[in-house]
Amino acid sequence: MKKILLPASALALFTLALPAMAFSPAGENIAYSVNDEDFQGYFISAGDNTKGSVLIVHDWDGLDDYERQRADMLADEGYDVFAVDLYGKGNRPQAVEDKRAATNRLYQDRERMRALTLGGLAQAREQGAAGQTVIMGYCFGGAVALEIARSGEADNIAAYTSFHGGLTTPDGQSYSSETAPIFIAHGGADTAVSLEDVATLAEELETAGVTYEVGIYSGAPHAFSVFGSDAYHERADQRSWAAFNTWLDEML
What is the percentage of the chain residues whose pLDDT exceeds 70? 92
- Measure the CA–CA gap between 230 and 108, rounded to whole angstroms: 29
* Predicted pLDDT of residue 5: 44
pLDDT band at 6 (very low <50, low <70, confident <90, very high): very low
Looking at per-residue pLDDT, the higher value among 228 and 137 belongs to 137
Are 4 and 23 within 8 A, CB to CB? no
pLDDT band at 22 (very low <50, low <70, confident <90, very high): confident
Looking at per-residue pLDDT, the higher value among 51 and 20 belongs to 51
- Measure the CA–CA gap between 225 and 249, rounded to whole angstroms: 21
pLDDT mean across residues, the chain: 93
Nearest-Å Rg of the Cα atoms of the chain is 17
User: pLDDT for 209-252, tens place per residue?
Assistant: 999 999 999 999 999 999 989 999 999 999 999 999 999 999 99
pTM, whole model, 2 decimals? Answer: 0.92
Backbone angles phi, psi at 122, to 5 degrees: -65, -40
Q: Is residue 6 left, alpha or beta, with left meaning phi > 0 and alpha meaning psi from -120 to 50?
A: beta
Are 121 and 154 within 8 A, CB to CB? yes
- Measure the CA–CA gap between 185 and 138, rounded to whole angstroms: 10
What integer is the mean pLDDT of 180-196?
98
User: pLDDT for 75-90, tens place per residue?
Assistant: 999 999 999 999 999 9
